[in-house]
Structure 1
């Protein structure tokens, strides 16, 4: 075959391929193609397979109709209190009109960035640092309203504006940290003081209740103790009164005389010798004279007879039989008893010479009708 003919065929096939490539255009989903004919807008191609006039129509732009996210770098912004803060923003927008986005603005992304920066400076310039840090929602709403109004004629809809970060200067950060630390310490001190106050109040109330209960317990204890002491004193006084009554009744019933008082004196002599300091006790040899003086002194006491007629009511104190002693001890006791009886008789005779009992021999005569001579007189209760 002629090589010239082959070249012509190859050129024809290439022409056909180029022609088809310029005629058939495939637009992806969520995209829009802007077609120009001789440099003038002709139509917008939808997603899918489209046919254009080759070498006449040209797809100039392919516009993305999806929502786009653009993050702008931090921008320095001056607040109302003359503090410079860095704010970086994130904008969510979507192209709603491909023709306006193509022919109304040259670069809508750059335009949105510059508009965001100027609007942000305008909004933050009317706030102080504290308000800027705590008014993110207010700043976002202000930015979105201004951007949506400005970009509407560009065929762009701003859906959302977010502030990624607000960074004050390092010195301001340090001051804010100190302030925050001081505020937290203040709140901690206040909470601690309130806790201590509540604890002190509860402790005081507890002490008050405890003191009240203790006082009530002490009062009841004192009342009961006073009642017990009163009853005890009454019973003791009644007992003492009864004892004194019994003693005086026994004394009056017994009708004591001077002989009994002399005998009581002799019984008190051993008690005088008691005690650690009494090493030696000498019985006077002239006991007869002492008894005579005792009898004369007793005789002068008013109301005490020198000789009584005996007890009115005899009290039975048990067996009156004398104990039998053996040896010289029995003889010694008998001689001592005899001496005591003689001394009593002599004292009675000295006190009352006309009584008819002038000699010691009169004592056994009285004992003949009663008890034995060696019998000791019954014990008489002590007088008060």
Structure 2
């Protein structure tokens, strides 16, 4: 019974060594007597017991490796703490087994050195604004170096870029100064615009006043011209009527009489208002003399009729 049990266990051990099932997500590297034989893909396989053995197992799925934080110096001599993630995949099981001792550790270390080199080419502001380009540059450099390892670098993502506390304090002061500068520029622009608007308003006001004064003078000139024209027309009409009256019978006598009356009336006003008379006062009685003469003439004419 004991020997039968030993036989069963031995047969089970032989079958375990003979049969190999490779899972879907893996590839197995087989060595025969210590020498590479083949890479087995997922599925059912037979091995030669005690000659063939599974030397390496590799996961063919995409792997994510964490890159620890490290100190980097930017182009403008700013110290930064940068960490990230590496995404890679095993493409060749043989190279991943014999091309390098530990491709995971090598990929992480290569990502760190490449990241330090790439960040050294950029200024602090560029590391934040051009993160996508920085990721692509790191992937490109790592992919070139990882070809002999049988892995494919799919992408690299920077998680955090952390300046030192002193740099953060300096940046805060710089941002505050920049905000104050922008505020002063905005105020200066507003004052400039206000002064421009005020000067334009004053200019327009002066133009309006001058236009109003110009129009006023034009209107006054037109009014004066119209007044002169009306007076001239009136004088012309008066002269025409006088000429018509003079042309009629007795016109000259009437005109002479009118002039005499006006002369005598004005002389009387002058003498009445003046303190010193340079003309004899008896001249003021001339008007009465002429009136008497007219009455006599009228009476004579009446008698003749």
Same topology, TM > 0.5: yes
1:302 Cα deviation after fit = 7.8
Contact preservation (8 Å) 2:74, 2:80: yes
Given the superposition, is the C-alpha separation of residues 81 and 235 from structure 1 closer, same or farther in structure 2, using an over 3 Å criterion?
closer
Within the candidate set 283, 296, 300, 1:300 is matched to 283
Within the candidate set 292, 295, 309, 2:294 is matched to 309
Give a deviation string over 1:137-166, Cα, whole Å, max 9, x none.
Answer: 554344334322322111122232332222
Listed as ranges, the matches of 1:57-206 within 5 Å are 57-125=52-120, 127-137=122-132, 139-206=134-201
Given the superposition, is the C-alpha separation of residues 73 and 310 from structure 1 closer, same or farther in structure 2, using an over 3 Å criterion?
farther
1:93 Cα deviation after fit = 1.8
SS in 2 for 1:92: strand
Contact preservation (8 Å) 2:67, 2:112: no
Following the alignment from structure 1 to structure 2, what is the Cα–Cα distance between the partners of residues 124 and 199?
A: 47
Establish whether residue 215 from structure 1 lines up as the match of residue 198 from structure 2.
no
Give a deviation string over 1:271-329, Cα, whole Å, max 9, x none.
Answer: xxxxxxxxxxxxxxxxxxxxxxxxxx75334853522314999xxxxxxxxxxxxxxxx
Which residue is equivalent to 1:346? Answer: none
Listed as ranges, the matches of 1:278-289 within 5 Å are none
SS in 2 for 1:105: coil
Following the alignment from structure 1 to structure 2, what is the Cα–Cα distance between the partners of residues 192 and 184?
A: 12
SS in 2 for 1:33: strand
Which residue is equivalent to 2:38? Answer: 43
1:240 Cα deviation after fit = 9.5
Following the alignment from structure 2 to structure 1, what is the Cα–Cα distance between the partners of residues 118 and 78?
A: 14
Provide the aligned C-alpha RMSD in A.
4.1
Within the candidate set 8, 12, 22, 2:17 is matched to 22
How many residues are treated as equivalent by the alignment? 273
Richer in helix (by share): 2
Following the alignment from structure 1 to structure 2, what is the Cα–Cα distance between the partners of residues 134 and 230?
A: 79
Contact preservation (8 Å) 1:87, 1:164: yes
Given the superposition, is the C-alpha separation of residues 231 and 128 from structure 1 closer, same or farther in structure 2, using an over 3 Å criterion?
closer
Listed as ranges, the matches of 1:276-355 within 5 Å are 299-301=282-284, 304-306=287-289, 307-310=292-295
SS in 2 for 1:73: strand
1:104 Cα deviation after fit = 2.2
Given the superposition, is the C-alpha separation of residues 310 and 181 from structure 1 closer, same or farther in structure 2, using an over 3 Å criterion?
farther
Following the alignment from structure 1 to structure 2, what is the Cα–Cα distance between the partners of residues 139 and 56?
A: 49
SS in 1 for 2:53: strand
Given the superposition, is the C-alpha separation of residues 231 and 55 from structure 1 closer, same or farther in structure 2, using an over 3 Å criterion?
same
Following the alignment from structure 1 to structure 2, what is the Cα–Cα distance between the partners of residues 131 and 83?
A: 12
Q: Which runs of 5+ in 1 are unaligned?
A: 266-296, 314-365, 370-384
SS in 1 for 2:293: coil
Which residue is equivalent to 1:362? Answer: none
1:200 Cα deviation after fit = 3.4
SS in 1 for 2:101: coil
Which residue is equivalent to 1:225? Answer: 220
The structure, 1 or 2, with the larger RCO (C-alpha pairs under 8 Å, 6+ apart) is: 2
Which residue is equivalent to 1:375? Answer: none
Contact preservation (8 Å) 2:67, 2:111: no
TM-score w.r.t. structure 2 length?
0.71
Q: Which runs of 5+ in 2 are unaligned?
A: 243-253, 270-279
